[in-house]
């Protein structure tokens, strides 16, 4: 009714006024025209409306057409104006709602946050109308991210107070907060399947939501009670859920990046290009956190490390390293996670070899020569691989000689020699590197240690 009635004072709009004037005139004019037609010879009369208007029309009929045309013009103008206003204000309502939500939930306890999130998800299920899925899912991602941000903030505040000795709470209370964080993260990751983007693109809201959930899991990853729940309650808190979400985001990021490359080739550098690069960095940060979570939760736990590998977690990390092959931070945390998963674990080492992981490790080291952490973790993985035989899932084992041969073909000597030449002051890299080059009969000059040895007090 907004096109016919003014929303402010309830008066008739111009379009409605012209319609009310034009319709009666149309009836009067048509009736008058019919009377005039009877005075002409029947054989000369054409009964069409145009003929009636042009040759037998009255002044009323002409005025009605004029007023109705004006009404149509005003309606068209109003529609165009409303559409432009909608385009300008689209999303601003959500912004105000998000700000109000942020202010309100600061007073809620973690338990209340969990209950409210569950209620919000039930009330905001994505509808089956495909045309609305994209906007509705983006809105859901934004609101759920606010809840995650608040819970993470409360958890970080608790950690700071713990360090300062200002928290007077029981162990049961502390464990309860960890459990709530785990429940919230998995609640979001499960809902991620329902929120699945209709346009198959890694949108900002989607990445922000996943990043918040993975960050929360990484914060509590080393808590013994949480690890126990991962292991004993695998049906509810299994590693398949976060790994599947990270895998999906990586696939979407790859597709989006390829699309961005094609756009960059056909257009000149612009602000849009800078925006695409910034978005790619945001997605990379999500996958860095994914590697951090998988490594932290398996640290010093062989059982959890095996579970992660069985759920294709190791394969995911290798694919992340392959895709972000020149990204130092991802190279650092990805190789660290692989070392945690495979250290003194013959089964996982066998999986690493089967997945061509040695080649990925060596290539990551070659691509990021200036990062001492990448070189240190990569060298440690290769050194550990060459120390023991590796057990395969089928029960067979790869001997040290077989592993050494695979490593040489993957470029071990080149990667290790480069690491030693670049980081002569790192005692760990130099010691492990020297042993590997000697064991693999390296032909050439082996770099010498050029740093200070630390003495144990």
Q: By mean pLDDT, which of 22-36, 216-230, 416-430 is the weakest? A: 22-36
Any domain includes 382: yes
Could you report the per-residue pLDDT of 248-271, keeping only the tens digit for each? 999 988 888 877 777 666 666 666
Q: Within 10 A of 108 (CB to CB), how many other CB atoms are there? A: 16
Question: Is the pLDDT confidence value at 172 over 70?
Answer: no
Any domain includes 209: no
Give the up-direction half-sphere exposure of residue 51: CA atoms within 13 A in the CB hemisphere.
7
Question: Is the pLDDT confidence value at 10 over 90?
Answer: no
**Taking Cα atoms as reference points, which of 407, 338, 328, 314 lies closest to residue 365?**
328
**125 contacts: CB under 8 Å, gap ≥ 6:** 194
Name the band, by pLDDT with cuts 50, 70 and 90, for residue 424: very high
Instruction: Name the percent of the chain lying above pLDDT 70.
Output: 74
Mean pLDDT, residues 35-40: 59
Say what the pLDDT of residue 133 is.
47
Q: What is the pTM for the complete model shown?
A: 0.76
Could you report the per-residue pLDDT of 46-67, keeping only the tens digit for each? 555 555 554 455 677 777 788 7
CB 426 within 8 A of CB 451: yes
Strand partners, 397: 391
Q: 292-310 b/e with 16+ CB inside 10 Å = b?
A: bbbbbbbbebeebbbbbbe
E-state strands within 175-218: none
Any domain includes 255: no
Q: In whole angstroms, how far apart are CA 205 and each of 139, 143, 153, 341, 397?
A: 8, 9, 19, 31, 46
Say what the pLDDT of residue 120 is.
85
Q: Let me know if 231 is exposed, middle or buried by CB neighbors in 10 A (0-12, 13-18, 19+).
A: middle
Any domain includes 425: yes
Alpha-carbon distance of 98 to 403, in angstroms, equals: 55
Say what the pLDDT of residue 264 is.
66
Say what the pLDDT of residue 387 is.
84
Alpha-carbon distance of 209 to 189, in angstroms, equals: 9
Question: Is the pLDDT confidence value at 202 over 60?
Answer: no
Could you report the per-residue pLDDT of 292-343, keeping only the tens digit for each? 999 999 999 999 999 999 999 999 999 999 999 999 999 999 999 999 999 9
Q: By mean pLDDT, which of 48-62, 340-354, 438-452 is the weakest? A: 48-62
CB 6 within 8 A of CB 12: yes
- Domain ranges, residue 26: 14-89
Q: DSSP string of 110-125?
A: HHHHHHHHHHHHHHTP
**240 contacts: CB under 8 Å, gap ≥ 6:** 311
Q: By mean pLDDT, which of 42-56, 233-247, 394-408, 424-438 is the weakest? A: 42-56
Alpha-carbon distance of 365 to 367, in angstroms, equals: 6
Which backbone phi and psi does 360 adopt, to 5 degrees?
-65, -40
Local structure of 165: helix, strand or coil: coil
DSSP letter at 55 equals H
DSSP letter at 5 equals B
Instruction: Name the percent of the chain lying above pLDDT 90.
Output: 44
Name the band, by pLDDT with cuts 50, 70 and 90, for residue 45: very low
When divided into structural domains, the chain yields a total of: 2
**Taking Cα atoms as reference points, which of 375, 363, 314 lies closest to residue 343?**
314
Mean pLDDT, residues 204-229: 91
Q: By mean pLDDT, which of 3-17, 48-62, 225-239, 247-261 is the weakest? A: 48-62
Any domain includes 29: yes
Any domain includes 309: no
Mean pLDDT, residues 361-380: 97
Alpha-carbon distance of 408 to 392, in angstroms, equals: 20
Say what the pLDDT of residue 371 is.
96
Q: DSSP string of 355-415?
A: TTHHHHHHHHHHH-TT-HHHHHHHHHHHHHHTTS-EE-TTS-EE-HHHHHHHHHHHTHHHH
Region of 343 (left: φ > 0; alpha: ψ -120 to 50; beta: rest) is beta
Could you report the per-residue pLDDT of 82-105, keeping only the tens digit for each? 666 655 545 555 677 888 888 888
Any domain includes 443: yes
Q: By mean pLDDT, which of 15-24, 323-332, 418-427 is the weakest? A: 15-24
Q: Which of 89, 124, 139 delimits the end of a domain?
A: 89
DSSP letter at 42 equals G
Q: Within 10 A of 336 (CB to CB), how many other CB atoms are there? A: 23
Own/partner contacts of 342-347, CB < 8 Å, gap of 24 or more, are 342/305, 342/314, 342/381, 342/384, 342/385, 343/384, 344/302, 344/384, 344/388, 345/302, 345/305, 345/306, 346/388, 346/389, 346/390, 346/391, 346/397, 347/306, 347/309, 347/391, 347/392, 347/393
Q: In whole angstroms, how far apart are CA 425 and each of 227, 429, 446, 451, 454?
A: 37, 9, 14, 4, 12
Alpha-carbon distance of 149 to 209, in angstroms, equals: 9
Name the band, by pLDDT with cuts 50, 70 and 90, for residue 23: confident
Q: Return the top range by mean pLDDT from 121-130, 165-174, 428-437.
A: 428-437
Q: By mean pLDDT, which of 29-33, 255-259, 278-282 is the weakest? A: 29-33
Question: Is the pLDDT confidence value at 37 over 80?
Answer: no
Q: Which of 49, 66, 89 delimits the end of a domain?
A: 89
Could you report the per-residue pLDDT of 115-164, keeping only the tens digit for each? 998 888 887 664 444 444 456 666 778 888 888 988 998 888 888 877 77
Q: In whole angstroms, how far apart are CA 67 and each of 14, 18, 55, 404?
A: 10, 5, 20, 90
Strand partners, 390: 398
Question: Is the pLDDT confidence value at 41 over 50?
Answer: yes
Name the band, by pLDDT with cuts 50, 70 and 90, for residue 201: very low
Q: Which of 45, 66, 89 delimits the end of a domain?
A: 89
Say what the pLDDT of residue 121 is.
83
């Amino acid at each position: 009714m907004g096109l016919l009635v003014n929303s402010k004072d309830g008066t008739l709009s111009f379009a409605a006024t012209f319609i009310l004037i034009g319709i009666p005139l149309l009836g009067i004019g048509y009736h008058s025209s019919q009377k005039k037609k009877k005075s002409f010879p029947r054989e000369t009369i054409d009964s069409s409306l145009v003929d009636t208007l042009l040759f037998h029309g009255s002044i009323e009929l002409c005025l009605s057409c004029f007023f109705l045309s004006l009404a149509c013009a005003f309606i068209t103008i109003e529609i165009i104006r409303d559409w432009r206003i909608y385009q300008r204000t689209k999303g601003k309502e959500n912004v105000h709602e998000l700000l109000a939500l942020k202010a309100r939930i600061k007073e809620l306890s973690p338990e209340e946050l969990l209950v409210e999130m569950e209620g919000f998800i039930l009330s905001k299920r994505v509808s089956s109308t495909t045309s609305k899925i994209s906007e509705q899912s983006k809105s859901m991602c934004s609101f759920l991210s606010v809840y995650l941000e608040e819970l993470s903030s409360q958890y970080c505040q608790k950690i700071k107070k713990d360090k300062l000795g200002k928290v007077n709470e029981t162990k049961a209370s502390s464990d309860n907060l960890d459990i709530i964080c785990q429940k919230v993260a998995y609640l979001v990751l499960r809902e991620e399947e329902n929120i699945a983007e209709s346009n198959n693109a890694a949108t900002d809201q989607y990445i922000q939501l996943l990043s918040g959930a993975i960050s929360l899991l990484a914060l509590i990853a080393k808590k013994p009670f949480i690890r126990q729940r991962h292991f004993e309650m695998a049906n509810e808190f299994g590693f398949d859920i976060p790994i599947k979400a990270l895998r999906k985001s990586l696939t979407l990021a790859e597709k989006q990046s390829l699309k961005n490359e094609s756009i960059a080739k056909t257009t000149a550098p612009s602000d849009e290009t800078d925006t695409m690069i910034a978005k790619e960095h945001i997605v990379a940060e999500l996958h860095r956190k994914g590697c951090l979570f998988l490594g932290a939760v398996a640290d010093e736990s062989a059982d959890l490390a095996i579970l992660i590998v069985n759920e294709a977690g190791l394969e995911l990390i290798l694919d992340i390293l392959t895709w972000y092959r020149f990204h130092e931070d991802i190279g650092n945390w990805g190789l660290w996670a692989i070392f945690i998963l495979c250290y003194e674990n013959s089964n996982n080492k066998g999986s690493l070899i089967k997945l061509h992981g040695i080649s990925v490790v060596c290539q990551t080291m070659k691509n990021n020569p200036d990062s001492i952490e990448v070189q240190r973790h990569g060298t440690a993985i290769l050194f550990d691989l060459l120390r023991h035989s590796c057990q395969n899932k089928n029960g067979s084992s790869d001997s040290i000689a077989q592993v050494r041969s695979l490593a040489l073909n993957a470029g071990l000597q080149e990667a290790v020699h480069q690491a030693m030449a670049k980081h002569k002051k790192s005692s760990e890299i130099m010691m492990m590197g020297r042993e590997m080059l000697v064991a693999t009969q390296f032909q050439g000059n082996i770099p010498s240690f050029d740093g200070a040895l630390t003495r144990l007090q």
